[in-house]
Amino acid sequence: MNALASDGRRRGPGRGWGRWRRGRAAWRRGGAAWISAAVLIAAYAGSSLADYGKRTDVLGYVDELVAQHGFDRAALLSWFEAAERQERILEAIARPAERVKSWGEYRAIFLTSRRIEQGVEFWRRHESSLARAADEYRVAPEVVVAILGVETSYGRITGSFRVLDALVTLGFDYPPRAPFFRGELTQFFLLTREEDRSPLDFSGSYAGAMGYGQFIPSSYRAYAVDFDGDGRRDIWKSVDDAVGSVANYFQRHGWRGDGPVAVPVAVEGDRADIAANEGLAPNYDVGELRRLGVQVDALTDDTKAALFRMEGGNGTEYWLGLHDFYVITRYNRSAMYALAVLQLAQELRRRMGPEASAPAAMRGPTDVPGASAWAAGR
């Protein structure tokens, strides 16, 4: 769930990791098999290991996992032995696009004719799945498609770092966010146990985000769904599962889909600047912002909003972000991210037409809050 998923060097699945997939049996057997695996993996990778398995901070963490979640200690240690510190991960995390690019530059990455064309193509190809997700989760197809487009170019770039390397590197060698990534590492170990797969077998972004929608492990555990009914949640290969999982994520984070998401506004004077870019949550009443010089017609005074000032390609832009804009930022905590998703979604809807993938429930006489209003309002 980080934009611009970093495409690490090719490794992981496809380079022989498959032979180490031993599922539950491996978890039970633990130690020895995995230690020999770790040695072979080191030889394969052709790089020195970071000795995570010997560090006292790692050993303390392993003790916690064993005590709190009943993990096999030897198995955990063998995976830490196999984990590699990746300098490229540390470089990437220090320079996320959201922090170093202006809105104009950021927008230009995502609102390209290529990404729009590919989104239209994706929508057409997976129309039934998107319509079913809109029906079940009340999230418009263009929102789901835009998220997949911004995150991974519709599954084309899902990241090729080993998730284990990413989370161990960031959890133990990136102090600013170490607690967060150690938490995700714990979620990751729980996930691999639940899914009956080896922790060495997962690939993702430099931040450990996985699959079409770039779910971090805690999100995978909480929000991924088996939307094609094969009994597994596969957000790497099953487009149905990816679509259902993103839609479910939005529904669970309070997506309403019944009105504007963000609106461009004019601003008179500079009094409004004290309220601009204060946070992502819509904590201001529109009436209050009007008194500060924000000019907007369409919204009532008691509408909750956040004001954003951004440097666009043609100068400064002001935007009001409303409830659903905030929901998009639950996917990635950046106003530029949310605005890029919104604008890509709007362009995709414009290209597909107002009727595309509108689920049956939204076409009938009873208008169900959700996709249709959102789609029509642009």
Looking at the annotation, which residues are catalytic? 151
CA angle 365-366-369, nearest 5°?
135
Find the shortest distance in angstroms from Cβ 129 to Ca ion.
11
| Ordered DSSP codes for 60-106 | HHHHHHHHHH---HHHHHHHHHH----HHHHHHHTS-HHHHS-HHHH
Q: Confirm if 2 and 331 have CB atoms less than 8 A apart.
A: no
Compare residues 83 and 225 and give the one whose CB is closer to Ca ion: 225
The residue of the chain with the least Cβ separation from Ca ion equals 226
Please, what sign has the CA dihedral across residues 21, 246, 107, 90?
negative
Measured CA to CA in angstroms, residue 211 lies from 21, 205, 220, 285, 349 at distances of: 19, 9, 10, 38, 24
Shortest distance in whole angstroms from residue 240 CB to Ca ion: 7
**Closer Cβ to Ca ion, 186 or 192, answer by number:** 192
Min. distance of Cβ 226 from Ca ion in angstroms?
Answer: 4
Between the alpha carbon of residue 174 and those of residues 5, 63, 203, 215, 286, the distances in Å are 18, 21, 20, 20, 40
Touching Ca ion, residues 200-239 (CB under 5 A): 226, 228, 230, 232, 238
> Which residues, 6+ apart, have CB-to-CB distance to 168 below 8 Å?
52, 80, 83, 85, 185
The two structure tokens encoding residue 208: 């450990």
State the pairing for strand pair 284-285/262-267: unpaired
Give the 3-state secondary structure of residue 264. strand
Name the token pair of 104: 């104009």
When the beta carbons of 225 and 335 are compared against Ca ion, the nearer one is 225
Of residues 226 and 285, the one with the C-beta less far from Ca ion = 226
Report, in Å, the least distance between residue 221 CB and Ca ion: 15
**Between 230 and 367, whose beta carbon lies closer to Ca ion?**
230
CA 54 – CA 92 distance, rounded (Å): 26
273 binds Ca ion (CB under 5 A): no
CA distance 376 to 10: 42
Contact by Cβ (8 Å): 332, 1: yes
Nearest distance in Å: CB 152, Ca ion: 18
Closer residue to Ca ion, CB minimum distance, 129 or 205: 129
Pick the piece of the chain touching Ca ion (CB under 5 A) from 94-102, 155-163, 240-248, 348-356.
Answer: 240-248
Member of 241, 317, 324, 347 binding Ca ion (CB under 5 A):
241
**At closest approach, how far in Å is the CB of 23 from Ca ion?**
17
Instruction: Report d(CA 223, CA 175) in Å as an integer.
Output: 28
Measured from the CB of residue 196, what is the shortest distance to Ca ion in angstroms? Answer: 14
- By CB under 5 A, the count of residues binding Ca ion is 6
Task: Decide whether 135 or 165 has the Cβ nearer to Ca ion.
Answer: 135
Residue 353: partners with Cβ closer than 8 Å, 6 or more residues away? none
CA end-to-end distance (rounded Å), the chain: 26
Sheet of strand 315-321: strand arrangement: 284-285, 304-312, 315-321, 262-267, 294-295
Question: Rounded distance, CA 241 to CA 158, Å?
Answer: 15
Q: Find the shortest distance in angstroms from Cβ 30 to Ca ion.
A: 29
Nearer Cβ to Ca ion, position 133 or 320? 133
Residue found by looking up tokens 């997506």 in the block: 255
Residues that bind Ca ion in the complex, under the rule CB under 5 A: 226, 228, 230, 232, 238, 241
